[in-house]
Structure 1
Amino acid sequence: MAITLTPVALQRVQRFVAETPGALGLRFGVTRTGCSGWGHVADLARERRDGDTVFEQDGISIFVDADSLALVDGTEIDFGKQGLSETFLFRNPNATAECGCGESFTTETDLA
Structure 2
Amino acid sequence: MELQSETFNPADFAWRGISLTPAAAAHVCDLAVKQGVQGIRLGIKTSGCAGFAYVLDTVTEPKADDLLFEVDGAKLWVPLQAMPFIDGTEVDYVREGLNQIFKFHNPKAQHECGCGESFGVQAE
Q: TM-score, normalised by structure 1?
A: 0.89
Deviation sequence 1:10-64 (CA, Å, 0-9, x none): 111110001112x111101111111011001122111111211111212222111
Secondary structure at the counterpart of residue 101 of structure 1: coil
Residue 61 (structure 2) pairs with residue 20 (structure 1): no
- Gapped runs of 5+ residues in structure 1? none
State the identity as a percent. Answer: 38
Please show how residues 1-112 of structure 1 align to structure 2 within 5 Å: 1-21=16-36, 23-109=37-123
Q: Which runs of 4+ in 1 moved over 6 A?
A: none
Instruction: Give 1:83 shift.
Output: 4.9
Q: Letter of the 2:27 partner, please give it.
A: R
- Structure 2 unaligned regions, length at least 5: 1-15
Aligned residue identity for 2:101: T
Partner AA of 1:16 in structure 2: L
Match for 1:52: what amino acid?
D
Q: CA deviation at 1:5?
A: 0.9
Counterpart AA for 2:31: F
**Taking structure 2 as the reference length, what is the TM-score of the superposition?**
0.81
Counting matched residue pairs gives 109
Residue 25 of structure 2 contacts residue 73 of structure 2 at CA under 8 Å; is this kept in 1? no
Hey, what's the Cα distance between the residues in 1 that align with 2:85 and 2:96? 23
Larger radius of gyration: 2
Of 86-95 and 74-83, more deviation after overlay is shown by 74-83
Q: Give the aligned residue type for 2:41.
A: R
Q: Shift in Å at residue 87 of structure 1?
A: 0.7
SS at match of 1:41: strand
